[in-house]
Amino acid sequence: MGIRSILKYSAPELAKVSEPLTKFPDSLEELARDMVQTMYAAPGVGLAAPQIGLNIRLIVIDTSSGEDPKGLVVMANPEMLEQEGEQHEEEGCLSVPGYHGVVVRPGWVKVRGRDLKGNEFTMESTDLLARAFCHEIDHLDGKLFIERLGILKRDLIKRKIKKQIRQGTW
């Protein structure tokens, strides 16, 4: 299929808890390829399956934006095992285009998941990659970064988006 369209905030799929993958058919590779293409085209550093309307626990991340061939992470059923420290950085989301806010995330995370064949693997990461894992796992739990902002900032963004929806510009 290639590049998929990315759902925006207010789409019900973005608010659902997604289902773990229990089977790892060959077709999963094609879906992951589409997600990677969609992420690079956006461009973005991460994408979760619910953002293309599929409520399954699959994420892709590349904090090098395709610059480093080793930078691509494709993970099914990611689970946060451990986390440490704090980082405070601006965050955005392809499903909330045009809006940013400072979100507190752990400075270090240890994540376990499966590759497209169903083999388990574990990754430890810091900085932007740690942030991306947290952000994408949130998507699988039906949570957007705006839910992690202070209430004033969050409500302001939601009000602005509602206006854009009314005006047909969202």
Size of the site for Zn ion (CB under 5 A): 1
Choices 16-24, 53-61, 92-100, 148-156; region in contact with Zn ion by CB under 5 A: 92-100
Of the residues 93, 109, 140, 161, which one makes contact with Zn ion according to CB under 5 A: 93
Q: Is 79 a catalytic residue?
A: no
Measured distance CA(66)–CA(36) in Å, rounded:
9
Strands (E), 99-155: 101-105, 108-114, 120-126
Choices 27-35, 68-76, 80-88, 91-99; region in contact with Zn ion by CB under 5 A: 91-99
Q: What are phi and psi of 16, to 5 degrees?
A: -95, 155
Active site residue: 19, 82, 84, 136, which one? Answer: 136
How many other CB atoms are found less than 10 A from the CB of residue 88?
10
Residues with a catalytic annotation lie at: 136
Contacting residues toward Zn ion, per CB under 5 A: 93
